[in-house]
Amino acid sequence: MSLIWLEAVLPLGIIAGMLCVMGNAQYYIHKAAHGRPKHIGNDMWDVAMERRDKKLIEKLSAADASQ
């Protein structure tokens, strides 16, 4: 009688497993589509810094190519 809680473990384990599978599927699909993991909490500041970094890298690579 004291092991009746074990009846709930199997369905909870299935639910937890499916949540993990769905989360990992989203991660790998996004990584395959964009080539890098998703940036969590990406706000306007992060977007602006990514654009700035991309411009700086392009300028540096153009300067290296011209030398």
**Domain boundaries in the chain?**
4-65
User: What pLDDT sits at residue 21?
Assistant: 98
What are the strands, taking DSSP E only, across 1-67? none
Q: Mean pLDDT, consecutive 10-residue segments, the chain of 67 residues?
A: 85 96 95 87 92 94 82
Tokens coding 66: 């011209």
What does the angle CA 47 – CA 51 – CA 55 come to, to the nearest 5 degrees? 170
pTM: 0.56
* Nearest alpha carbon to residue 30 among 15, 50, 22, 52: 22
User: Number of helices (H) and strands (E), helices first, in the chain?
Assistant: 2, 0
> How far is the first Cα of the chain from the last one, in angstroms, to the nearest whole number?
80
User: What pLDDT sits at residue 56?
Assistant: 95
Question: What DSSP element (H or E) covers 66?
Answer: helix 44-66
